[in-house]
Amino acid sequence: MKKNFTLIFSAFLLSMTAQAQNAEQLINNYQAQRTGNNVEYKFVQTINDEKDQTQRVFTQRTFQGIPVYNSYTTYLVKNNQVVSSFASENYNSDFKTANVTPTLNLNQALNNVAQLEGLKLITDEASKDYGVHFSKEETSELVYYINDKQEPILSYALSYRLFKENQNDVIHVIVDAKNGTILDKHNTTLSCSFDHGSFHNENLATFNKEDWNWLYDDNTNTASPQYNVYKLPLEAPNRGARTFVDLSASNTTASPNGWHNIAEETVKTRTEGNNVRAARDHKSIGYQTYNSGANTVTLSNDDYADGGSTLNFDFPVDFNLDPYKNWQASTTNLFYMNNMMHDILYNYGFTEVNGNFQKDNYGKGATGNDNVVALAQTGMSIGVMNNATFATPADGRAPRMAMYLWNPPATADIKPLTINSPANIAGKLNVSEAPFGADLPITALTKDLALVRKSETDGTEFDGCGTITNAAEITDKIAVVYKGGSCDFVVKAKAAQDAGAKAVIIVNNVSGSLTITGSDSTITIPVVGLPRLDGEKIKKELINGTTVNASLQHKDIPYSDGSFDNGIIAHEYGHGVSNRLTGPITNANCLSNLEQMGEGWSDFFALMLTQLPGDTSTTKRGIGTFATNQAVDGAGIRPTVYSTDMTVNPAKYSFLKTYGNSDSPHNTGYVWASMVWDLNWKMIDKYGFSPDLYNGKAGNNMALQLVMTGLKLQPCSPGFVDGRDAIIKADEQLNEGANKCDIWTVFARRGLGYSALQGSTNSRTDGTEAFDMPPVEVSNCELSTSELKDSTFQIFPNPTKDVVYIVDKTIKNDIKVDIIDMVGKVVSTQTVKFDGQKGSLTTNNLPKGIYILKFKTDNGTITKKLIKN
């Protein structure tokens, strides 16, 4: 199969080479005809998209031969026409002069970065020391960075691996090449360290299995891999039980060799394959050894869930236990969901040439070698919880998904010490366990307590540092002894054991919890520590002669596991999608500006994949109920649930000003997701709903496609207006603009109307909200064509190809005309010379589509709609 793919796509790529050259010439001509766009640029990438029969061409602005950082124009070419162009806001900046020679060399800049990080610079690729690692795997480039004053600053754009305690991330920085100042810095690992969990769907009770046959196979094929998982559209364990799925749920176009093939005829029996390798990382070794460039990570064979020769991935789950005991089921669910994200989004354009995540690209273009490294249950061993992250490097470098554990329910029984009597101090208490002695028993050890007393007068009577005077009282009891005195923890515990104690409780002699240290292999009874406040209550009763009875028992802490939450996984995977599709796939840094909407797209993907046929536009979709242990109808961790009802979800564009530039990106994403979620429901209302996410043609499928195509078309460093315009252009490309008025209505309703201004895309506070629809001359969403302003002024032919003639005997002077595309942008301005009766307008360089011609005459402004064939 692989050989066939290679032959087919090698021929395809060869045929595309000439087309790419032709596309560059088209763009050179297109750019030359744009008034005021005489800028220096270079071609950086051409993506030939067979699915759309289009070419996406990226040019980068240069100045004095040096690239301008993140300054790109995205061109869409179809049928030898430039269909659209979207430029970064600094693409047409008017630069005067700038330095061309750096004061610092790259090594000096790197050393300055390392000094600011407080670490040493490491260039040895084999080194495992903490530091700023810079090797051939990392990138650097001399660029002009445009500051807030629109000044070009000669700088180094570089990435390095920041490796230190509890951190292993690739950091991207812009360093002033004159003085070493860091002008911009961001972590390529996007962290969602907010208590977000499953994506609540209040209508799950309406689930109808018959609507989801595309995901199910009742006649289980025993020869096919079997996965016991939380199958889509389930979001998390609090929405339903696990069920079996086999590869009938996969997309054979996206994954032609299945989910377990790394190369042709190489099948893994574990949770590893061409799209993802999923493994537990309870010791956080995988997180700390991950190397995106080499696509390596240190994991043992025992860290993968293994289905054996029959590929049967059926493992037990008990959420009352420590999650590490569920690791095989957790890893299996993580593997399943990553593959589903890969296979579903493939049909919407996240393919090999568009930078998707695959080890082997089957000869279909792009680089490959970038299947997802998905780590389950990571972080706790290094003190990190309540998080989920996704690191997205450029194409050809492997991304990393890290799924963490979350706080257990407040009602969970996790306290190992229970005071059974007397009633006035009865209750459950937390203890710290000693690094020596026996583990706490699975079956409760229930005994009376006894204070350890000594004959010596130094220290305190109960510190156990001396000759024990009440050994008979301690025998077959749980001994209680205090910290302090002239001996250490080991001596106290050993003395109590020798006196016949069955366990030891060491009470702190100062406020706070107690950490016990030491080692002694001869101590064979459990030893725990207790805070002073709790210990004093026990001591008081024992001194008064009251019998105190207690139980010691091992208690699993039932931390919530993000790898069982399909909503979290979809959200994190979505970061990889939006990062790869925005700008060239060779640049992973196009979503580092403040007004970018990455968190919003990620919420949107998670919501889209968990819709049900019974949902309505006002169904409350909250984020954050499973991991945060909220009720199923909880609002979660967003400002509100998602809903088209603006009394429930009032999100508007102006909210960004309220949140401010110092806010996290999650609230910004909430506003954007509210808008595109409304778009989904507008499309469903118009075209219906299909649960088939692979091949459906209904409104939800169309909405998902519009957003995916919009990601491809928008510029690097986009803002809300850029995202809106790209979706409108996507509808023009995909649907001939059939839904433009619906799209405008959706965005205008939440303040992103025609007159809205986004200001700088690197600020959340300078945008201008507007609720208006486009004027009639731009997009006739309110009037029919016959209702457009008319006069003796006539144009023909319409539709046209190369030239339009204008006839009006009342016009005596030359007139100017603006040619406006369907997103309201002036694409050309021309002067029409009249001979006393008629004039002409050239249209041969316009892409095919619908335009508005705005003529400025002595008699006023006249608009006409023009169709270019």
**Nearest of 328, 182, 314, 192 to residue 243 by alpha carbon:** 314
Strands of the sheet with 815-820, listed across from one edge:
826-832, 815-820, 849-857, 860-868
Q: What is the C-alpha separation between 400 and 379, in angstroms, rounded?
A: 13
Catalytic member of 138, 235, 272, 572: 572
Beta strands, E only, 188-337: 189-191, 226-229, 243-246, 261-263, 266-267, 276-280, 312-313
What b/e sequence results for 193-205 when a residue is b if at least 16 CB atoms lie within 10 Å of its CB, and e otherwise?
ebbbbbbbbeebe
Residue 346 is inside which H or E element, if any? Answer: helix 327-346
Concatenate the DSSP letters of all residues of 161-223 into one string: EEEETTEEEEEEEEEETTT--EEEEEESEEE--S----B--TTGGG--GGGGGGG--SS--TT
End-to-end CA distance of the chain: 41
Q: What is the C-alpha separation between 803 and 866, in angstroms, rounded?
A: 11
Bin 163: left if φ > 0, else alpha if -120 < ψ < 50, else beta.
beta
Q: What is the C-alpha separation between 808 and 850, in angstroms, rounded?
A: 23
Q: Is 353 exposed, middle or buried (0-12, 13-18, 19+ CB in 10 A)?
A: buried
Other CB atoms within 10 A of residue 302 CB:
9
Q: What is the C-alpha separation between 113 and 122, in angstroms, rounded?
A: 12
Q: For residues 243 and 249, is the Cβ–Cβ distance under 8 A?
A: no
Cα dist from 868 to 53, 83, 205, 851, 853, whole Å = 20, 11, 51, 8, 12
Count of positions (residues) in the chain: 869
**Nearest of 697, 703, 700, 695 to residue 213 by alpha carbon:** 695
- Whether 572 is a known active-site residue: answer yes
Question: Token digits for 417?
Answer: 């010490």
184: which strand partners? 174
> Do β-strands 243-246 and 226-229 pair in parallel, antiparallel, or remain unpaired?
antiparallel
Concatenate the DSSP letters of all residues of 598-611 into one string: HHHHHHHHHHHTT-
Q: Is 227 exposed, middle or buried (0-12, 13-18, 19+ CB in 10 A)?
A: buried
Q: For residues 568 and 637, is the Cβ–Cβ distance under 8 A?
A: no
User: For residue 404, what are the contacts with CB-CB under 8 A and spacing of at least 6?
Assistant: 377, 378, 379, 380, 384, 385, 386, 387, 388, 562
Q: Is 489 exposed, middle or buried (0-12, 13-18, 19+ CB in 10 A)?
A: buried
Give the 3-state DSSP-derived string for 701-735, with helices as H, strands as E and coil as C: HHHHHHHHHHHHHCCCCCCHHHHHHHHHHHHHHHH
Q: What is the C-alpha separation between 71 and 93, in angstroms, rounded?
A: 10
**Is residue 776 classed as helix, strand or coil in its secondary structure?**
coil
Other CB atoms within 10 A of residue 152 CB:
22
Q: Which residues are catalytic?
A: 572
